Structure formats: C-alpha cells, structure tokens
Amino acid sequence: MDTIAPRPRRTAFLLLVIPLTLLLIFGCTVQVHDRPTNPIPPEVPSRKDGSGYKSEHVFIVVMDGVRYSETFGDPTHRFIPHLYHDLRPQGTLFTHYHNRGVTVTRQGHSTLISGTWQTVPNGGPRLTRPTLFEYYRDEKRAPSTKGWSVFAKGPYAFEPYSSHPAYGSRYAGRHVHGGRQGDGLTENTPEGDVTVLNRVIEVMKTDQPDIVFINFGHTDHVGHVAKNIGEYHAAIRNCDEQMWKLWNAIQSDHHYRNTTTVFFTNDHGRHTHDFHSHGDHCEGCEHIMLLVLGPDIKKGTVIEREALQIDVATTAGELMGLQTPLATGRTLAECLTYYLELNRKEARTEAAHRALYLEQLADRNLIKAAADYVLATTKPEGVAANLIGEVLLRGMIHGQSETKEPRHLQFVQRWIDVHKHAKAIEQKAILGKVILELPSAVRKPYMDMAVQIGDRMLASPPDFADENDALIGGIFLGRLSEVTKRPRYEEPGLRMIKASLRQPDPKRPTDIEKAYELFLLGQAAALFRDDITVMKAYILTAAKALNRMKEDGALWDDPLVSVLDLCGIEASTRRGAMREFTQRREHDALPACVEAMTQQEMRALFPDRPRAPLRNLQNQLVQLIWERGKQGFPFSLDMLRYGVNEAGAYGNGSPAAQGGFLLSFKRLDWRYGGNTWPGPDSGKRP
Ligand SMILES: [Zn+2]
Ligand SMILES: [Zn+2]
Ligand SMILES: [Zn+2]
C-alpha cells in the first residue's frame, strides 16, 4: 500500500510557477471586484507539519433551497447583507456554480458530501458512494467525533454515511437531524436555524470536529409554504444572519481560527418562475451560490468559470490533504492561493483499494457474466428438479430476457428435456413452474406438459410430505390458472397453499430455509393477494426478513439469504400484492392481513416491545415494510453487483446464489421519482 510521502517544500517553485500557471489558465476569467487579489501568495503553505495547506478544518454550510437570483445574483443583495458585504470580500465567489443533478434536498446534500451525482429522491436510499466523513475517518484514522453533520431538516433530507461496501457505517461521523420533538432542530421555524447554529457551536467546543456539514433548512420550508414571497425573503435574511454568526464563532475559537475553510452554498435553488417549488433543470433550480473563505482561499475574488456541486467534496479533500478516490468532481484550484495537488484521488488505504476494485467489477455487464458463469460451470443434467434448481432456472430465464442470448435460454430448454419424464409429483411441480416462467413464444411447445401435470394434481391431490412441496404445488396451480386463464386450477391451488401454512413449523428453521420460504411466499402472495391467510403468512415472513436487513449495504449477512429474500419480496411487488402497503397514506386503515394478526404473532416479530399494545405493533409492522422496502429494497438490488467476482460468480457461485442473483439483480439508474419502491413519495414535500 502506498503511504503519503511528505512533500518537499518547494518554496521558490511554488512562488513562481503556480501563480503564473493559474494566471495563464484562469487569468482571463478571474475578475477582481473591490480590491485586487495579491499577485503573489502572501505566504507559502505553513501547516504544522509543513506538508499541506493551512486549512485543517472544513465546514460545508447549506442554505436550503435558495435561488442565486436572491443571493449573489440580486444586484441589491438585500437579503444577504452579511454574506455580500462582510464575507464576500474575504473569500472567493463563484458566479457560475450549478447543481446539475435532480435539484432536491437529498440529492444536493448527498452530492456535496460525496463529490458524485447522487440523484436520489428525498427519503430515498443512502448515498452509493462514500462521504467525506468516511474518507477522512479511514485515511486519517480519525474517531467518529471528528466528522459532524447538523441538520435542521428531518431524516428524509440526508443519510450521513454511504452504503458502499468498502466504506459505510464503520466510518460514519456523528449526525443529528431535525424533525424530532423537543430539541428545537426543525426546518419549520426561523428559530430552527438558530438552533442549528447553536448545536454546531456546541459540537465545536465538545468534539472539535474537522469536517462539519450544516443544513439550515427554514429557507426551503418557507419557500414551499409561504403565502407571499416576503416570508421566504425574510428566511434568507435570517439564514444570512446565522451564517455570519457561524463565521464569527469560527474566528473567535482559537482551535478553528485561521485553520478553517468554509463553503457557503445551497443544495438546490427554486423554479425561476415559481418560488414555491423546485426539482427540475430550470435556471432557478440549478444556479446556486458558492462562496468559499479560508486561510488558503483567495480574497475578494470572483470566478466566472463554471463550478459544479460535485467539486466541493474534491476541493475539501484537497485542502485536508485527503484522497477522495470515488469522487468525480475536480478541485476548484482557481480559488486557492496555491495549489498543491494533494488530492489525486489515489487509493492509499485498504478500503480505497477495495472500493476501486469493486467499482471496476461492478461496472461490467453483470447479468451476462453471471449467466455465462452458469454455462461454464453447470450442466443442465446436473441440476435437480427441486427448489434450488428452480431458483437457478428462473434466474437463467430472467437473465436471458436481459442478455437476449439464446444459449442462456437453451440451458433451460435442455433441462426441461432432461427432466420431462420425472416421476415424483414434487419434481413435476417444479418442472411445471419452470415451464410457466418461460417467455410465451418459447413456452408454447411445453404447455401440454404443464397442463398434464396440473390435471394430474387435480385428479389425485398429492399428499405432500414437505410443506414447501405443498406450497410449490399450490403456486404451480395458481400460476397455471393465470397463464391458461382456466379458473379450475385456482381454487385447488389456494387450498394446497393454505394447507401448507396451517401447521406452524415447530423446528427453528435456519435463515436460508426462511429465505426459501420467503421466495415461495412472495410468489404465492402475487397470485393470491386477496387472500388474508396467504398475505398474512407472506407479510410476517417478509417482516422477519426485513427486521434482519442490515442497515447499510441494505443486505443480509449471507449472500444467498440476500438474493432469496430479495426474490421473494420482488415477486410479491410485481403484481401489486403489496399495494396496500406501498400506497399507504397516513391515517389509512391497516391492511386487512395486518388487522388479522394476533398479539402472539406481533410479539414474536417485535420481541423488544413486550408491553406495546397490539395496534402499535401492527402500525410498526406496516411502517417497517414501508420504510425498509422503500429505502432498502431498490437499493439492495443495486448493491448486489458488488457481490459478483471477476469470473461472474455471485457469493460462493452455488447454483442457488447464481440463480438468485440473475433473478433479482437490476442495475438501477437513480432518478428523482424513479426507481424507488414504491415510487415517488407524493406525500413528502421535496
Ligand atoms: Zn433543499
Ligand atoms: Zn425549476
Ligand atoms: Zn424543498
């Protein structure tokens, strides 16, 4: 592993070459207002160890949701007297600074702190790339108290650490957000922003953090709810006051004075023609402010060259002598009095090396790699007609729908040919299920076979020894009814499923057994979503799984458990079986299947709340599915890609793991209101 070599002091070199270079590159775009910048840096870098900038601390401070036209773009600057008259002369102002993302709060803050376009909706999943906090704690071996985020807005606005498998919670900083009772942190009142300031000053004293990320949220809130624009302007004026006080607090604290760079910025603007909202690509939404002040920042300088929201994290890294290997922004060298090129985005730690390696792997065509891996390692003859075989074969069918490569489907056809004379009814049910999953054009020649299996099951209902087999048989009949549009299979199918659910399993099943059960119950729920017994069994099993979902990475400990759980949950969402949960609005009645759940069932699900009333637990169950599903699920699908190795093997490469990956993986292209589950949250304001 590389280490950071101390940089030799090249005083004369820096004194001459860097200003000259900067002059050459930016000379034509740098405009100087009020007073000229020093042609020569006043001092050479003099950090204590002589190897970097004077900045030892970075503050990124957000005035939420304000247009440039109401800050520095307003020729009168009447709402930001302090930022304009007191602070601007001491720093560098970027006049063409843009958020080119989706211009909502969650995205803006995630982008600022990660240096990547995190086009996630509010209340959406975690960031997918590491935050500055994570880079810092990893590379500098800093404790969590050295990174702090203080937010007026509630948890929907920001997640303080990423899901990246190489980083994540173990490198998280400290975080406090608004929306809770009693502590005064809120976006709803001007006092909320005052409370934010006081909390920041408090942690500056107690923890002396090096990276501080601050959200003043009232401006955006008022923008959404104000009857007249004057209220919104007053909120900007109030925030300007808090920012000025923050700057003074930094200057009067000997730990921070002269060693702190502050970025005053916005997460997004507001519509050019309607200040009430934001979220698109209009000038008002994208054009925002960036004023940078600090011991290494040029004073009284105005820069017209375009800067982007992704550039802040990279620049902060540069000032801290920190690598931000996955960040895509550039260092805003034009605002630095000297540019040392410390942040080369190099991997200098184990986590960083692993992160880059994983990114390389994850960028490939994973579905094809994984399906090819199956062809290279498995013969259809060797795949048994059981649940594991079914996972693999369905995976290959789904994989082929993505790859469009006939050989991926031929694997399945060959398997059917090999197993078409299977005798045992359990095997026949699997055979039938696989046939029904084939694309309709390919399925046709096999349909007689599927119907024969179904008719045989109707003529002499099998006495399944294993409850999973009964479940499989019932799902097959339900699906057969759906595909053939012959209702006669439906009722016996439902009966078979219900029989399998009647006896609670006395043995304690393993996580994998539970995951297979969820895999099947999700399919059953999709077929019989109006049946309370089926839905209840499914929801209870899904909730147990979601309870065990890891918060970051949003997967389960075992890769196989992860893909099977995801397959089960996704199967149920496909046909709207979860609509009562996903379209839930506050004060709605509980879904019928939850209403039907008993005290005993709820207690088993939430053992840490032994005394809570039944209704509270039922609400908690709905909340669990709503939140974990919404935030964790789409995101988990995306995270699966980090589990595939160079050869195309997911997890341990076993048939079930491989099939589960092929069946569930989706490369998600995050868009506002896009691939979230259950979709755009219209109840929550951006
Ligand atoms: Zn915002
Ligand atoms: Zn707009
Ligand atoms: Zn907003």
CATH of the domain at 233: 3.40.720.10
CA 61 – ligand 1 centroid, Å: 12
User: How far apart are the CA of 633 and the centre of ligand 2, in A?
Assistant: 29
- Give the closest ligand to the alpha carbon of residue 281: 2
The pLDDT of residue 125 is 76
In a domain, 506, yes or no: no
Whether residue 42 is predicted with pLDDT greater than 70 in this model: the reply is: no
With bands split at pLDDT 50, 70 and 90, how would you rate the model's confidence at 401?
Answer: very high
Q: How confident is the model at residue 466 (pLDDT cuts 50, 70, 90)?
A: confident
pLDDT score of 619 more than 60: yes
In the reported structure, the alpha carbon of residue 686 is separated from the centroid of ligand 2 by a whole-number distance in angstroms of 12
The phi, psi pair for 32, rounded to 5°, reads: -110, 125
CA of 275 to the centre of ligand 3 (A): 10
How far, in Å, is the centroid of ligand 1 from the Cα of 219?
Answer: 9
Rounded mean pLDDT, 220-225: 97
Q: Of 419, 410, 407, 429, whose CA–CA distance to 383 is shortest? A: 419
Residue 396 lies in a domain: no
| Nearest ligand atom owner, CA of 268 | 1
Residue 443 lies in a domain: no
Report yes or no on 394 lying in a domain.
Answer: no
Structural domains in the chain (count): 2
Nearest ligand by distance to the CA of 273:
2
pLDDT band at 668; cut points 50, 70, 90: low
Longest alpha-carbon distance in the chain: 94
Task: Tell me how far the alpha carbon of residue 104 lies from the centroid of ligand 2, in angstroms.
Answer: 10
Find the domain containing 631 and state its range: 382-389+511-519+528-686
Alpha helices, DSSP H, located in 300-386: 311-320, 350-362, 366-377
SS3 at position 458 = helix
**Which ligand is nearest to the Cα of residue 112, counting in written order?**
1
pLDDT at 544: 92
- Domain-located, residue 404: no
* Cα dihedral sign, 36-40-42-47: positive
Give a yes or no: residue 257 inside a domain. yes
Tokens standing for residue 22:
């900067």
Q: Reduced to 3 states, what is the DSSP secondary structure of residue 307? A: strand
Separation of alpha carbons 388 and 395, rounded Å: 11
Question: Is 609 part of a structural domain of the chain?
Answer: yes
Looking at residue 614, its pLDDT comes to 94
Q: Provide the token pair at 476.
A: 């097959």
Whether pLDDT at 80 is above 70:
yes
* % of the chain with per-residue pLDDT over 70: 87
